Structure 1
Amino acid sequence: MAARAPRNDGSSLTSQQLDGLRSKVKGKVVVKGHASDEEYRPLLERWNAMHVKEANIIVLPENEADVSETIKFIAEHTLDVAIRCGGHTYSGPSSGRGLIIDLRNMRKVSVDVEKKIAIAQGGCLAGDIERATEDVKLRVVMGAINATGCGGITTGGGIGNLSAQHGLVCDNVVAARVALADGRIVVASDTENSDLFWGIRGGGSNFGLVTEFTYKLHDCDHDVFSGVYMYTPDKMDKALELFNPLHEECVMKSDGKFAVNAIFGVAGGAVMPAFMVYYDGPEEEAKKFIKPLEDLGPMTPPSGARTVPHTASTDWAEISKMFPPDFNRIVGSSTQIDYPVSMSVLKKTVELFQQKISLFPENLGVSKLIVDLRDYTKIASVPLDATAYANRRTGMLFGIDFIWDDQKLDERMMAEAKDCIGTLRRIIKETNEQRGIADVGGHVAATTLYPLITDGEEKLVSVFGPNLQRMRELKRKYDPNVMWDKWYPVDPAELSN
């Protein structure tokens, strides 16, 4: 394959060239060194401060035509490009030093009640779509928090509390409009550009920028029961002993309505167990599923355990209060293990987390270990080759978030996080037979991680498994010069002789 021209950061573009871009787009073009700090700096902010980069050009398109013209400009000048929707990613693919296409001004949502679909512009946050649909007694499948951009969570797969009933976020997309690397806007669906439709459901931004999603909606005329049950550290063993029966007897017997995550945080240097619960129905029904948690004797009162609208259960404004604003440097990764899970693995996992936190107790004090006990049967029922998303398996999902406050510790924390998840994978491999796609490097199997909770440096086969080769072929068709290279970019397949 011929060598590709290296992408540049746009710093050498002339005023005339930048004015040419401005003349073709309705939205703003903000240039580093020309715009005021008051205008420029807020546009760089991201959920994960570790990945904030000073982009030379930020374009805020107002419409699809603006996106198209911006992409043509990027192609003409071989610019480095990143896409920002919600800016809520672990590994920083929405940041870059070249040109950022910032979709924050494209957040319109329209709902067709009769067809039970929502059409959302690519810059929408999950909350925009959730609120618009809930207002008309319908519900859209999104993730656990409403601050996530719809673009990232949809193209990356997307797991939420409704997934046990309705599948991944990407499984609920019925069509999309995609801006390709040459600036063309095309429709992707089962009947139009079906190969591209396959690719954007789990393949991230590898094939283009999605300017519009069409989601199927689900009937909803009721509130949900949601909250957190917290326990003192002395109840750790009893909390761990609940994992298997809670999953088997409660989660798996709730018809997909009961979702629960164990969350381990730190208080006074000790790891405390907690369970975040969600029941898609009234409290009276939820009671039989949360009974084991109440019997364990939570700290009273349970934090916010109450009947609320679904949109309140995903409210990031409330969840973010748990994290001081200066603790905003984050690295996370994930892995899975088949049920039933031994107490030995669970105890070793918590001990490993405790050991890492104790290295920097003042800096890592708001870090967390998440254990997802939700029902993945619906997700796993979809054939592995039906979409680009490759984590179609059941199993207990572990997610580890290291969260710290000091930029000087970035390199060390990244190393500790990688060591932590690598050690956990080895523990799982040694004690639990995994039935995955492949055994790759330090990974238990090719698809035992959740691609939206990763450090951005996992091996591609660990993210895409057996779908990787088809993705490479699509890359050659839709992005042969690798314009889109920020979220697990795949190389185009070479042409056969």
Structure 2
Amino acid sequence: MDRPKRVDGSNLSAQDLDTLRSSVKGKVVVKGQSPEEEYRPLLERWNRMHIKEANIIVLPESEEDVSSTIKFVAEHNLDVAIASGRHTYSGPSSGYGLIIDMRNLRKVSVDVEKQTAVAQGGSLAGDIEAAAEDVGLRPVMGAVNATGCGGITTGGGIGNLSAQYGLVADNLLAARVALADGTIVVASDEENPDLFWGIRGGGSNFGLVTEFTYKLHKADPFVYSGFFMFSSDKIDACIDLMNVLHLDYIMKSNGKFACTGLTAIMGGNVIPGFLVWYDGPEEEGKKYIKPILDLGPIYPGSGAEVKRHTETTDWKQFEKMFPPEFNRLVGTTTQVSYPISTDIIKRTVQRFQEIVATRPENLSVSKLMFDLRDYSKVTSVPLDATAYANRREGCLIAVDLIWDQEELDKEMMQITKDFITQVRAWVKEDNEQKGVADVGAHVGATTLYALVSDGDEKLASVFGSNLGRMKELKRKYDPGMMWDKWYPVSPDAN
């Protein structure tokens, strides 16, 4: 189907812009008209590779403002993007047309008796975590608190609590969604259940979520968590330990122990380490990290400590790993089944080291991660129960190439794609040699975690066997392709 190309709004008249301003209570910032000191900060993104100079930025103050803005977008066929936390790998919160920037809609209310939280669509994960922790509860959110709840919820969402309670999306009870015509509807198991299915893993394909209602969980606020580093000569030993940690410790912890292998580059050498998180007291946590301590980390006495769960997701601690000048990055993922082929992991680390060595001054803060957590709770949900398609048990391999110069963007994007393509080929070859078929309850599950991706993956790799239903919903809720920034699904039949 041919659709008129969406425009960036640069041809809107002064009268058109005045109409927009009069229809919303929130601020309307226009490129070239608003002061630069007001306009420029609104463009900033965690990943500066995806900063685009939008012609119009609307900062809604209410759900009614969101509705009015969408109606304006529809009337003028504008290119539109949604900005919540602005903490994405692939840049769906950026665009050259109109940005609906939700940063002023961050109110969170907690119902202690019902164990629920209601959060406005611009809330950050940290807003919800802090409000819940104050009353002895926890939401399921992601790895860092700077992430917008809009992106991580509609994209699925994995965090340290997922082994006990599932995805962020699995803990969503209801949402209020602004559709492509500006109508606000409720999505839940009872109301518009098809839309509720779609926003749990389908991203922003069907609308802008103005409000989320989450299930909360009773919990002690304190956990045992930290990071252990090892000398470069222990990289093979750390890799060899991964299967032991997963099988004998993580999978026997009832979801309470989460562990991620991490490799970074220091002085040209690969420095291995483990991020650990245990939902319980220190004396119990130490039992689960014993093999890590036995391996002899560099700082065994200060690697982990008791802290609030909200401290473990605080972005400030991770910011130290990302010097300000290294602010351009691409992340991508794949998954390998257990028991992990240590040969694949070692080859992956070796290739990572080779890539960084080609430009050590530009890529020195890049990271390679191996997520060893228990995915049993995630995979216990039927694959067709939500749009989210990565319900597969396995070790998620994630690469973050991080650099400092804009002129390297294109080169680094291609290098990252070639890298993950190679790793996927190794995994496929290993499976064929072992005679491992795609078996189990989630045969159609994908091996890609779409929230950590380059944005150019094929739709079948993102949505798997759920893609057909996604197309049906797109025809119903967004046939004009207004929402086209995060793995946009075409409403066309083929």
Q: TM-score, normalised by structure 2?
A: 0.97
Does the CA-based 8 Å contact 1:231-1:299 persist in structure 2? yes
Distance 1:445 1:385 in 2: 10
3-state secondary structure, aligned to 1:165: helix
Aligned-partner Cα distance in 2 for 1:342–1:384: 26
Deviation at 1:302, TM superposition (A): 5.7
Q: Provide the residue aligned with 2:274 in structure 1.
A: 275
Q: What is the CA distance between 1:37 and its match in structure 2?
A: 1.2
Question: 2:134 — aligned with what?
Answer: 135
Letter of the structure 2 residue corresponding to residue 426 of structure 1? A
Structure 2 contact 177–209 (Cα < 8 Å) conserved: yes
For the Cα contact (< 8 Å) 2:223–2:280, is it kept in 1? yes
CA shift, 1:226, in A, is 0.9
Are the counterparts in 1 of residues 71 and 182 from structure 2 also a CA contact under 8 Å?
yes
Does 2:111 match 1:112? yes
1:221 deviates by 2.4
Tell me which residue corresponds to 1:155.
154
Q: Which amino acid aligns with 1:145?
A: V
CA distance in 1, matches of 2:381, 2:302: 36
CA distance in 2, matches of 1:487, 1:303: 40
Aligned to 2:189: 190
Query: Which amino acid counterpart does residue 273 of structure 1 have in structure 2?
Result: P
Deviation at residue 291 of structure 1 after TM alignment: 0.3
Counterpart of 2:468 in structure 1 is 469
What's the CA shift string for 1:172-220, capped at 9, x where partnerless? 0000000000000000000000000000000000000000000000001
CA contact (8 A) 2:266 2:364 kept: yes
Specify the code of the residue in structure 2 equivalent to 1:351.
Q
CA shift digits 1:367-401 (9 cap, x unpaired): 00000000001001100000000011100110000
Say whether the 8 Å CA contact 1:141–1:172 is kept in structure 2. Answer: yes
Query: What is the rounded CA distance, in whole Å, between the counterparts of 2:208 and 2:249 in structure 1?
Result: 40
- Tell me which residue corresponds to 1:175: 174
Give the distance between the partners of 2:347 and 2:408, measured in 1 at CA: 25
Partner of 1:391: 390
Change over 3 Å in CA distance of 1:143–1:357 after alignment to 2: same
CA distance in structure 2 between the partners assigned to 1:146 and 1:460 by the alignment: 28
Taking the aligned partners of 1:493 and 1:391, their CA distance within structure 2 comes to 24
Distance 1:201 1:492 in 2: 18
Matched ranges for 1:323-472 at <5 A: 323-433=322-432, 435-436=437-438, 447-472=446-471
Deviation at 1:494, TM superposition (A): 3.6
Higher mean displacement: 320-329 or 52-61? 320-329
C-alpha distance in 2 between matches for 1:77 and 1:337: 46
Structure 1 pair 482–235 and aligned structure 2 pair: CA distance change class (3 A)? same
How many angstroms apart in 1 are the aligned matches of 2:104 and 2:490?
A: 31
> Secondary structure at 2:99's aligned position in 1?
strand
Instruction: State whether structure 2 residue 86 is matched by structure 1 residue 87.
Output: yes
CA RMSD of aligned residues (A): 1.4
**TM superposition outliers: structure 1 runs of 4+ over 2 Å:** 301-304, 432-437
1:296-315 aligned at under 5 Å gives the runs 296-301=295-300, 305-315=304-314
State the distance in 2 between where 1:329 and 1:303 align.
Answer: 31
Q: Distance in 2 between matches of 1:293 and 1:150?
A: 33
- The residue identity in structure 1 corresponding to 2:230 is Y
Whether contact under 8 Å (1:91, 1:456) holds in the other structure is: yes
Tell me the amino acid that sits aligned with residue 347 of structure 2. Answer: K
Shift of 1:366: 0.2
Change (3 A) 1:336 1:435: farther
Q: Helix, strand or coil for the counterpart of 2:484?
A: coil
Deviation by residue 1:93-149 (Cα, 9 ceiling, x = unmatched): 000000000000000000000110000000000000000000000000000100000
Match of 1:47 in 2: 46
Q: Deviation per CA, 1:58-95, whole angstroms, max 9, x where unpaired?
A: 00000100000000000000000000000011000000
One-letter identity of the residue aligned with 1:347: K
Map 1:48-67 to 2 at 5 A: 48-67=47-66
1:339 and 1:102, CA in 2 relative to 1: closer, same or farther beyond 3 A? same
Name the counterpart of 1:294. Answer: 293
Residue 361 of structure 2 aligns to a residue whose secondary structure is coil
Following superposition, the deviation at residue 431 of structure 1 comes to 1.1
- 1:101 maps to 100
Q: What is aligned with 2:217?
A: 218
Match of 2:4 in 1: 5
Secondary structure at 2:202's aligned position in 1? coil
- How far apart are residue 304 of structure 1 and its match? 5.4
Does structure 1 residue 29 correspond to structure 2 residue 63?
Answer: no
**Residues 17-47 of structure 1 deviation map (CA, whole Å, 9 limit, x = unaligned):** 1010110101000000011111000000000
Q: Render the CA deviation track for 1:281-323: whole Å, top value 9, x for unaligned.
A: 1111101100011111111156652100100000001111111
3-state DSSP class of the match of 2:173?
Answer: strand
CA contact (8 A) 1:435 1:445 kept: no
Identical residues among aligned pairs (%): 67
The whole-number CA distance in structure 2 between the counterparts of 1:139 and 1:273 is 31
Determine the C-alpha separation between the residues in 1 that align with 2:339 and 2:330: 28
Unpaired segments of 5 or more residues in structure 1? 438-443
SS at structure 2 position matched to 1:363: helix
Shift of 1:342: 2.0
Q: Structure 2 CA distance, aligned partners of 1:172 and 1:436?
A: 28
C-alpha displacement at 1:436, in angstroms? Answer: 4.3
Residue 441 (structure 1) aligns with: none
State how far apart, in whole Å, the 2-side matches of 1:392 and 1:163 are.
12
Instruction: Give the structure-1-normalised TM-score.
Output: 0.97
Instruction: Structure 2: state its 5+ residue gaps.
Output: none
Distance across 2 between alignment mates of 1:435 and 1:145: 35
Residue by residue over 1:383-439, the C-alpha shift from the partner in whole angstroms, topping out at 9 and shown as x without a partner, is: 0000000011100110000000011111111111111111111111111256449xx
User: What CA distance in whole angstroms lies between the structure 1 residues aligned with 2:301 and 2:168?
Assistant: 29
Q: Which amino acid aligns with 1:61?
A: P
